[in-house]
Amino acid sequence: MSLVLRAQVAAASHDIVPSWPLDSFIAVNPLAGAESQPFDFAADRGVALARPTADYVTDFHQGRIPVEALEQALVARVPALAQTVSVGRTELPACTIAALDMIKHPDATAAPEAADDIRLDSYLSTWVAAYLNPDPLWAMPHREHGFYGAWRRLGVVDPALSRFVRRRIAAAPEGPDAALEAAVSAVAASELREFLRGQLAPLPGWVAHIKWRAEKVGDIDLTSYLAVRLTLAIALGSVLARPAPTPAVGVDTTWERAAHIAGSLTEDGTRPEDVAVVARVLAEHPAAEHPLTWQAAYEGAYQADLMEILRSTPEPTDRPDVQVVMCIDPRSEGLRRHLERYRGVETLGFAGFFGVPIRFSRYAAQGAINALPALIAPRHRVTEHPLDAESATRTVASSRMRGALAHALHAADSATTSPFALAETAGWFSGALTALRTLAPSAHARLERALSPRPGDLATRLTMEESFTLQERATMAATGLRMMGMTRLAPLVMLTGHGSHSTNNLYQSALDCGACGGNPGGANARAAAALFNDSDVRAALVGMGLGIPDDTVFVAAEHDTVRDVVTILDRHGIPDSHLHRMREFDELQAEAGARLVAERARALPGGRSRRQVTNARKRADDWAEVYPELGLAGNAAMIIGPRELTRGVDLARRVFLHSYRTELDSDGSGLETIMTAPLIVAQWINHQYYFSTLNPHTLGAGTKTIHNAIGTLGVLAGHRGDLRRGLPWQSVGFGAQLLHEPMRLTVVIEAPLERIGRIISGNQVLRNLLDNEWITITARNDIHHPWHRYTRYGWAPATTLTVRQKKETPQ
Amino acid sequence: MNNLTRMTRLEIVVPARDAPAIRELISSAGATGYTSVSGVSGIGHHGQHSGSLLFNEYDTLTMLITVLPEGKAGELIDAVRELLNTSSGVMFVADTYVSRPEYFQ
C-alpha cells in the first residue's frame, strides 16, 4: 500500500485523543487534539460546548449571572458592542441590546448529531471487543494475523453474515493495507482525509482506545481497524459517505427578534428605523454565538466572585508546629481549610506525586503501578524492602494462600460446568456473605479487613537509594522545596497524598490521584518523605543553600477522600522525639476530617440525614453505592501562589491550589514546571469534567448503572456497542440535575507578569490554551500590584464586575 | 567518498504527541531504525519552543532522525509531507554517507 495512505490515516486521526484502559484511568481533555484551534471550533463537529441557553437564562433570572457579566462577555467577544446606539429617544450601549436579545430569545436547539450505521457499528464493535478482550478462557483464533487478518479468516464463516457478504469478504485482499487501499480507491484524493475522518467518527470510544493501544501495545492499529470497517461496509452494501451534521438554526429571524426588542425599548410604537438599528446590533452577535457568550458570562460571574474573596494578608513569620503538604486536588482544599483552624498548623499545595516520579511495586507483589503524571514516562522502579524478614515471610505466605484461594474460586466460577458444583458446595456460605455485604456493608468490610492484613501493615523501607543516585535525590528534593514555596520548615512536615476507597466501582482510579497516574498517592508520599529524611540528601541540600533543620521530620500520609481520614504511613520511621506531635496531629486531623465529611455530605445525593457523617463514610464499603464521593465535581479554578491569598477563604473544594513563592524561584524554573505540568494536568481534569457534563453520551460514559466491564479495557453500556470514555454521569450529575458546573479553568497566579509572559511565550501548549480560550490566566506581581488578565495581545488590567442596582437589570 | 555509501537522511521535528505517527511511518517505510531526541528547543513558524520540561515530556518537541537508502526514502518523504500538511512540524532531507550500508538496507 502507498505509505501516503497510512499518513492520511494518521492525519485523519490526529485530533483523536488516546483513551487509557480503565485500570489506569486518567483525566484527559477529550478534545486535546484540537487545542491548537479556537475553543469554539468543536461546535462544527457536533460537540456541545455549552448548556442549553434556556438554562443560562434561568441562572440569569436567579441572579447567578449578573447582567454586567453578560455585557462584559458580549464586549469581550464582540468589541463593536461597546458603542452606544439610539433606539427611539433612548441612547444605550449596543451590548445592552445584545444582552436583551439573549435573555428574551433563548435558543433551545440541541447539538446536531450525525446518523450512524447501526448494523455496521454493532457488528464491528463486537469483533473489536472479541479481539482486544484478554479473556483467559477463550482466545480469538488467528489472533497472530492481526485484527484484519483474524477477522477476515473468521468473517468468511460467520453465520451472522449472509452467504453473499461472506463471499465478498473472502474476495477481499489478504492484508489490511491492501484492503484499505482497495476500499478507498473510489474516493477522490482531495476528499480522502475527510472521508477517513468520517469513518473514524462512529465508535469513538473504541477508536480512541485503539489509538492508545497502537502506541503502547502494538497489536492493533487504526489502519487495520479501517480496513475491517470499510471492507465490511462494502460487503454489506452500506452507504459510506457520512452526512455532515446540520448546523443549529435559531428559532426566529434576526428581524423578528429585533422588532420584539425595539418594541420593548420604545413606548410610542415601533418604527422601522429603530428595528433596523437593533437588527444591525443583533447581526454583530448572531444566535449561533449565544451559547458561548452565555458560557463566558457564567464563567465571568464566577471569576468575579473568586477574585473578590482572595486576600492579601502578610506572610506569617512564626514557625508552625506542623506543615501539611497536600495534593493540588480541589478535594484537598476542604481538609486544608479545616486543618488550618488549629493554631500552629500550616498547609501547602503541591502536585500529589511530590516531584518523585516512580514505577512502584509492593514487596513481593506481582505487577507495578506508574505512580507519576501521564505527561512523563516511568524511568525509576521503586519497591519495598521489609525491615523484619520473619514477618515478611509470614505475610507473603498468607497473601499467597489468599491469592490462590481467590484464584481457585474465580476459576471454578468461570468455567463451563464447575459453577454448579461450586454453588452446591459453597453457595450457602457465599450467600450469607453476600447478604452481610448488602445489609451491613461496614460489618462486612471490617470482617474482610480482619481476615486480610493490609499491605501497609508490613514494616518496610522504600528502595530509593537503589533506584536514584544521590545527585538525583538531592535535585528532586531541592526542586520540591522550591516548588512548594517553603520558606521555613516546621518540626513535623506531613506529606499527604490521597486515594479514594470505594467498593465495586469500575471508576475507582478516576477518584484517585491524577498526578499519580490514577493511583493512590501514598507510595509517592512515602518516597518523598524518605528523600527529605535522608541525611546524605540533607547534606547535599545545604550545599545548594536549602538547609533542612535538624529537628524537622517528614512523615508520609494518605488522605482517603471518601472517609476524609488521614492514615499515617511508615509509623515505624517516626523518631520518639516526634511521637507526641504525631499523636496531636492524629487527633486534630480526625476532628477536621469529621467536619469536612459533614460539609461534603450535604452535597452528596441522599446525603442529608441525621447521621450524615456516618452515612457518608459508609459509602466506601457499600457495593451498591454509585456516589461514593463527588470526586472533583465543581472544579473551576487553579490558584498558584502563597497560601496568604486563600487562607481562611472557603473555596468550596472547587480550586486546585499550588503553593508558590517568587522569592524562592530566582530563575523562574519552578514556575515554568508548575505551569507546564500541574497546570496542564488540572486543565485536562477540568476539560474532562466539562465535556463529560455537556456530552454525557458521547464524551462521557453515560450512567454507571448499566455498565459492564470488558476486561480492564473499559466499560460498555449493556453488553455490546462502543467502549465508553470519559466520566460516568454519576461523576457529574444526579438525575437531570448537574452536580458539576461546567466551567473552563480560571488560573490565578501571583508572580511577576514578565516571568509568566516569558513562560507562556516559550511553550506552545500554553500559547494554544490561552490564545484559543481553552483557559484564562489572571495574575499580579505581588500584593502591591493590581490584577491583570492575559490576552493574546499582552497583559490587560483585569476588569472588575460592578453589579448595578437590581432595578436597572433588563427584564 | 572514502568508500562511504550515499543514503538519505530525514530529520523531522514534531510535537511529542505526534511522534508515534511519524515513528510508525518510518517503520512502515522499511527503515531499520531511527534516533529520537526529545525536548528540542528553538524558534519556528509557531513561535518559541523552550525545550525540555521537568515533568512534561508530552508537550515538548521531538526530533526523529532516520537514514535509509534513496529508493526507500521517496515514499517516506511524501508520506511525512502529507502528514505535516495539517499539523505542525518540519522535515529536513539531506544526502548523507554511511560506512556500514548493510545496517540501513
What whole-number distance in Å separates Cα of residue A199 and Cα of residue A202?
A: 7
A268 and A370 housed in the same domain:
no
What whole-number distance in Å separates Cα of residue A262 and Cα of residue A625?
A: 54
Residue A276 counted as domain residue: yes
pLDDT digits (tens, 9 = 90+) for A588-602: 999 999 999 999 998
A619 and A573 housed in the same domain:
yes
Residue A778 counted as domain residue: no
pLDDT band at residue B10, thresholds of 50, 70 and 90? very high
Residue A510 near residue A518, CB atoms below 8 Å: yes
Cell of A368: 507495578
Contact at CB, B47 and A6, closer than 8 angstroms: no
Residue A145 counted as domain residue: no
Of A649, A637, A560, A562, nearest to A604 by C-alpha is A562
A256 and A401 housed in the same domain:
no
Q: How far is CA A656 from the centre of its chain?
A: 12
Looking at chain A, which residue has its C-alpha nearest residue B86?
A11
| Least confidently predicted of A138-152, A357-371, A606-620 | A606-620
A441 and A566 housed in the same domain:
no
Residue A265 has pLDDT above 60, yes or no: yes
A417 and A393 housed in the same domain:
yes
Contact at CB, B54 and A375, closer than 8 angstroms: no
pLDDT digits (tens, 9 = 90+) for A482-518: 888 888 999 999 999 999 999 988 888 889 998 898 8
Comparing CB atoms, the residue among A4, A351, A375 nearest residue B58 is A375
Residue A721 near residue A701, CB atoms below 8 Å: no
Q: Which residue has the higher pLDDT, A571 or A807?
A: A571
Q: What is the pLDDT of residue A131?
A: 93
Residue A19 counted as domain residue: no
Looking at chain A, which residue has its C-alpha nearest residue B59?
A765
pLDDT band at residue A374, thresholds of 50, 70 and 90? confident
CA Rg, chain B, in Å? 14
Please indicate, yes or no, whether the overall pTM of this predicted structure exceeds 0.90.
yes
pLDDT band at residue A44, thresholds of 50, 70 and 90? low
Per-position DSSP letters for A336-391, written without gaps between them: HHHHTTSTTEEEEEE-TTTT--EEE--TT-SS-EEES-TTS----EE-EEES-HHH
pLDDT band at residue A269, thresholds of 50, 70 and 90? low
Contact at CB, B59 and A11, closer than 8 angstroms: no
Taking the Cβ of residue A647 and every Cβ of chain B, the question of whether any pair is shorter than 8 Å is answered with no
Of A556, A572, A540, nearest to A494 by C-alpha is A556
Contacts of B59 in chain A (CB under 8 A): 375, 676, 680, 763-765
Query: How many beta carbons lie within 10 A of that of residue A106, not counting itself?
Result: 19
Of A65, A36, A68, A32, nearest to A51 by C-alpha is A65
pLDDT band at residue A116, thresholds of 50, 70 and 90? low
Structural domains for chain B: 5-104 (3.30.70.120)
pLDDT digits (tens, 9 = 90+) for B51-90: 888 889 888 999 999 999 999 999 999 999 999 998 889 9
Residue A783 counted as domain residue: no
Contacts of A2 in chain B (CB under 8 A): 75
Residue A101 counted as domain residue: yes
Contact at CB, A36 and B88, closer than 8 angstroms: yes
Q: Which structural domain, as residue segments, surrounds residue A97?
A: 40-112+248-308
Fill in the amino acid letter for B79: A
Cell of A454: 493490609
CA Rg, chain A, in Å? 29
Taking the Cβ of residue B80 and every Cβ of chain A, the question of whether any pair is shorter than 8 Å is answered with yes
Give the distance from residue A319's alpha carbon to the nearest chain B alpha carbon, in angstroms: 31
pLDDT digits (tens, 9 = 90+) for A510-554: 899 988 988 999 999 999 999 999 999 999 999 998 999 999 999
A112-136 burial, b for 16+ CB within 10 Å, e for fewer? Answer: eeeeebeebbebbbebbbbbbeeee
Query: Which residue of B17, B82, B88, B91 is the best one to mutate when testing the A interface, meaning the one whose CB has the most A CBs within 10 A?
Result: B82
Residue A556 counted as domain residue: yes
Q: What is the pLDDT of residue A255?
A: 84
Q: In what order do the strands lie in the sheet with A381-382?
A: A369-371, A358-360, A381-382
Residue A45 has pLDDT above 80, yes or no: no
pLDDT digits (tens, 9 = 90+) for A720-763: 889 999 999 999 999 989 999 999 999 999 999 999 999 999 99
Which residues in A547-586 belong to E strands, given as ranges?
553-560, 565-568
Fill in the amino acid letter for A268: D
Q: What is the pLDDT of residue A540?
A: 96
| Least confidently predicted of A265-274, A460-469, A701-710 | A265-274
Q: What is the pLDDT of residue B91?
A: 97
Task: Say if residue A488 is exposed, middle or buried (CB neighbours under 10 Å; 0-12, 13-18, 19+).
Answer: middle
Comparing CB atoms, the residue among A14, A221, A765 nearest residue B87 is A14
A394 and A373 housed in the same domain:
no
Taking the Cβ of residue A193 and every Cβ of chain B, the question of whether any pair is shorter than 8 Å is answered with yes
pLDDT digits (tens, 9 = 90+) for A626-672: 999 999 999 999 999 999 999 999 999 999 999 999 999 999 999 99
What whole-number distance in Å separates Cα of residue A287 and Cα of residue A50?
A: 13
Contacts of A7 in chain B (CB under 8 A): 21, 25, 78-80, 82-83
Residue A767 near residue A755, CB atoms below 8 Å: no
pLDDT digits (tens, 9 = 90+) for A200-244: 999 999 999 999 999 889 999 999 999 999 999 999 887 665 555
Count up the domains in chain A and report the number. Answer: 3
Q: What is the pLDDT of residue A264?
A: 84
Contact at CB, B50 and A221, closer than 8 angstroms: no
Q: What is the pLDDT of residue A317?
A: 77
Q: Which helix (H) or strand (E) holds A232?
A: helix A222-236
Comparing CB atoms, the residue among B20, B55, B86 nearest residue A673 is B55
Q: What is the residue whose three cell numbers read 510535537?
A: B15
A581 and A623 housed in the same domain:
yes
A362 and A406 housed in the same domain:
no
A447 and A351 housed in the same domain:
no
Residue A578 counted as domain residue: yes
A552 and A628 housed in the same domain:
yes
pLDDT band at residue A112, thresholds of 50, 70 and 90? very low
Q: What is the pLDDT of residue A809?
A: 42
Residue A738 near residue A732, CB atoms below 8 Å: yes
pLDDT above 70: percentage of residues in chain B: 99
Measured CA angle at A674 (ends A335, A509), to 5 deg: 55
Residue A453 has pLDDT above 70, yes or no: no
Query: Complex ipTM, two decimals?
Result: 0.92
Residue A557 near residue A498, CB atoms below 8 Å: no
Per the prediction, chain A carries an average pLDDT of: 89
Residue count of chain A: 811
pLDDT band at residue A436, thresholds of 50, 70 and 90? confident
A537 and A631 housed in the same domain:
yes
Q: Which residue has the higher pLDDT, A419 or A677?
A: A677
pLDDT band at residue A805, thresholds of 50, 70 and 90? very low
Give helix A118-132 / helix A222-236 axis angle, nearest 10°.
140
Q: Which helix (H) or strand (E) holds A427?
A: helix A418-439
A504 and A372 housed in the same domain:
yes
Q: Which residue has the higher pLDDT, A723 or A113?
A: A723
